[in-house]
């Protein structure tokens, strides 16, 4: 019986040590896991954030005005949702290893997303354009119609 008691005490001490070590190493993290996509933006470039902030303020004011117009019109729920999506573009950003990441709306109204879209297209066609000896940027327009005919 004494042998069983010693064995019981010995086992309980080991179990206690094992449990306390296990709980201290397996504590759940209180931080939420966030998945980021893309290359992100370097945090050290302040001028980039200033430009983006100005664009975002301008975009939000335009989006709110367009949302108000949509509320007065019938059958414009889809447009209103698109404007709200633009309003919340880059609303939440995540910082990871000195770079920031966020979600883009990819709407035509958003200057930030349009700038990204233009940059992607320019970089896509840049290798072809570099091979041209005399490259010019031309905007083709139609002649304006006079107000009174």
User: Does residue 141 sit within a domain?
Assistant: no
User: Does residue 104 sit within a domain?
Assistant: yes
User: Does residue 58 sit within a domain?
Assistant: yes
User: Does residue 60 sit within a domain?
Assistant: yes
User: Does residue 56 sit within a domain?
Assistant: yes
- Judged against a pLDDT cut of 80, whether residue 4 lies above it is answered with no
Tokens at residue 95, please?
């910082």
User: Does residue 15 sit within a domain?
Assistant: no
Q: Which residues form the domain of 70?
A: 41-121
For residues 112 and 17, give the distance between their C-alpha atoms in angstroms, rounded to a whole number.
56
User: Does residue 103 sit within a domain?
Assistant: yes
Predicted confidence band of residue 8 (pLDDT cuts 50, 70, 90): very low
Q: What would the pLDDT profile of 71-108 be if each residue is shown by its tens digit?
A: 888 778 888 888 899 898 888 888 888 888 888 888 88
User: Does residue 57 sit within a domain?
Assistant: yes
Count of structural domains, the chain: 1
């Amino acid at each position: 019986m004494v042998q069983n008691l010693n064995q019981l005490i010995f086992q309980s001490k080991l179990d206690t040590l094992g449990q306390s070590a296990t709980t201290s190493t397996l504590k759940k993290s209180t931080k939420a896991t966030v998945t980021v996509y893309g290359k992100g933006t370097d945090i050290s470039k302040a001028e980039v954030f200033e430009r983006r902030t100005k664009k975002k303020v301008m975009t939000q004011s335009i989006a709110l005005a367009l949302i108000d117009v949509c509320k007065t019109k019938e059958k414009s729920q889809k447009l209103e949702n698109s404007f709200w999506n633009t309003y919340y573009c880059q609303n939440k950003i995540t910082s990871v290893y000195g770079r920031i990441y966020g979600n883009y709306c990819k709407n035509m109204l958003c200057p930030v997303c349009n700038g990204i879209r233009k940059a992607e297209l320019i970089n896509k066609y840049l290798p072809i354009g570099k091979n041209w000896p005399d490259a010019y940027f031309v905007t083709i327009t139609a002649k304006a119609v006079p107000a009174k005919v």
